[in-house]
Amino acid sequence: MDISNRGVDNEAKLADRNYIRWDAQGVEKIAENEEGDIKAVADMINAIQKAQFNNHRHCFSGTHARTQGIIKGKLVVHDDLPKHLKQSMFDHGAEYPVVCRYSSEPGDPGLDDRIPQPRGFAMKVFNIEGDFLPGGVDIPTQDIEFNSTPALDLADAKTTRDIIDLRIKYGNNQPELYNHLEARPDTDLQKFRDTVRNTHLESTRQYSQTAFRFGDYVAKYCLVPNSATQKKLYEETVKPDADPSDILSRWLQNFHRDHDAEYLLQFQLLENLDDQPVEYAGKVWDPEKYPWQTVATLVVPKQDSFDWEMKNFWEDHIRVDPWHGLKTLQPLGGPNRLRKVVYPASSALRRKMNARAEVNVKSMAEVP
C-alpha cells in the first residue's frame, strides 16, 4: 500500500510517533560466527563469477549481472519536509544529478527476461557534501541500491551462506533445489523469487530490503513509479510464449524514448525492533503499521536507456556500494555488514579477470 506523508493531519500524526534512534541499544546485534559466514559467502560469490566467466569469457558481478538499461536524471529533495524527515542529505530542499542502472538480480548476464526473477535498480547520486563513511571518503557520491522484492531472501549471513551453497549445487535442477528449500523453515521466502510479477521495469516498485541509518533514526526506503504511464504499464506482463528473450530491455527503451519518468523516494522509519528487525531482512516491515513517507522525487527526462558505451563502462568499471556514502546514511544489520566485505571482493575479481580498473566516478561529467 502506498502511504505518503502528504496532508496536514496525516503529517502531524507521523511527526509525533516514537521513532527509534540509530544508536539505540539493540538496533544491531552481531550473530555468532558471522565473520566466518561472510568470508565463505565472498568465496562462493567469486566461484559463481568464475563459472560465468567460463560461459561468457568475461567476468561480471556476482549478482545483478544483466544490465537492462542505464538512465540519467535528478533527485529532487522536497523543501517542505517535516522535522522528523529532515535527515542527512534530505535536511534541505535540493537537486542532485543521478545516474541509475536497471538490472536483473541473478549472476547470469544471459538470463532470459521471460524467466520471472527479482529485478534491481541502482543509483549514484552526485554533488553530495558531508562526512563520509571510510570506504567513500574520497568519493563524493551517495550510492543507493534497490530490489523489486520487499523482503531479502538472503536475510542474514548464515542464511546467505546456506542458500548460495544450495544454488551452486542445485541451481540447474529446480526440483532438487526445491526439495532442499522445502525442508527449511523459510521455504516461502526462498521460493518467492520464482513467482514475482514479470512486468515493465519502469513500472516496478523497488525496495532497499535492508535497514539504514536515516540521520537520527533508522529506516528502509523504496522507489515508487509515479507517472500515469508507468502505473498503466504495470498492468502488462511478459508473455513467455510470444515475447523475445530481451523484452524487458526493449520495453525500457520504448518507454524512456517516448516518456518522462518520475519516482517517489520514500522512507519507512523504525518504531518497534521486535516487529521491524534490523538484523534479519527476511521480514517485511508492515506498511499499514509503519507508513512509507515521501522525501524526494526522482525525475528522468526522455532518453535512450540502452547506450552501449555507458553499459560497457558501467559493467567494466563502476561499482555501486551502499558503504560509499554519508555516515548519516550508514548501512545497518548483518546483510549490510556482509555487503561491506563481499562487494569489494566481487569487484576486485572482476577487475582482475577483465583487466579493467575500478573507476569511482565523482561527477556526472565523468559518466559517458
| Helix/strand/coil for 256 | helix
Query: Quick check: 7 pLDDT over 70?
Result: no
* CA distance linking residue 228 with residue 262, whole number of Å: 9
Q: Which pLDDT score, from 0 to 100, does residue 21 have?
A: 98
Structure confidence by residue, pLDDT tens digits, 38-85: 999 999 999 999 999 999 999 999 999 999 999 999 999 999 999 999
| pLDDT tier, 247 (very low <50, low <70, confident <90, very high otherwise) | very high
| Helix axes 334-354 and 157-170, enclosed angle (nearest 10) | 50
* CA distance linking residue 155 with residue 158, whole number of Å: 8
Query: Quick check: 343 pLDDT over 60?
Result: yes
Long-range contacts of 187-195 (CB under 8 A, 24+ apart): 189/151, 189/153, 189/155, 189/282, 190/153, 190/163, 192/149, 192/151, 192/153, 193/105, 193/117, 193/118, 193/149, 193/153, 194/116, 194/117, 195/116
Q: Which pLDDT score, from 0 to 100, does residue 135 have?
A: 84
Q: Which pLDDT score, from 0 to 100, does residue 74 have?
A: 98
Angle subtended at Cα 99 by Cα 98 and Cα 101, rounded to the nearest 5 degrees: 140
Q: Which pLDDT score, from 0 to 100, does residue 10 have?
A: 76
| pLDDT tier, 225 (very low <50, low <70, confident <90, very high otherwise) | very high
Burial of 226 (0-12, 13-18, 19+ CB in 10 A): middle
Whole-prediction pTM: 0.95
Q: How many CB atoms lie within 10 A of CB 9?
A: 7
Structure confidence by residue, pLDDT tens digits, 133-181: 998 888 999 999 999 999 999 999 999 999 999 999 999 999 999 999 9
| pLDDT tier, 93 (very low <50, low <70, confident <90, very high otherwise) | very high
% of the chain with per-residue pLDDT over 70 = 98
Q: Which pLDDT score, from 0 to 100, does residue 52 have?
A: 93
Q: Which pLDDT score, from 0 to 100, does residue 2 have?
A: 43
74: which residues sit within 8 A by CB, 6+ positions away?
95, 96, 97, 98, 298, 299
Query: Quick check: 11 pLDDT over 80?
Result: no
* CA distance linking residue 130 with residue 140, whole number of Å: 8
Q: Which pLDDT score, from 0 to 100, does residue 1 have?
A: 36
Q: What mean pLDDT do residues 297-301 have?
A: 98
- Mean pLDDT over the full length of the chain: 95
Query: Quick check: 3 pLDDT over 60?
Result: no
Q: What mean pLDDT do residues 106-112 have?
A: 93
Q: CA nearest 70: which of 109, 99, 97, 96?
A: 99
Q: What mean pLDDT do residues 183-191 have?
A: 98
235: which residues sit within 8 A by CB, 6+ positions away?
199
Which DSSP string do the residues of 187-236 spell out, in sequence order?
HHHHHGGGG---B-GGG--EE--S-EEETTEEEEEEEEE-SHHHHHHTT-
Q: What mean pLDDT do residues 330-340 have?
A: 98
Q: CA nearest 83: which of 75, 91, 93?
A: 91
Q: State how far the alpha carbon of 348 is from the alpha carbons of 52, 94, 234, 325, in Å.
A: 16, 34, 37, 20
CB 127 within 8 A of CB 142: no
* CA distance linking residue 56 with residue 347, whole number of Å: 17
* CA distance linking residue 356 with residue 351, whole number of Å: 5
Query: Quick check: 271 pLDDT over 60?
Result: yes
Q: Which pLDDT score, from 0 to 100, does residue 4 have?
A: 52
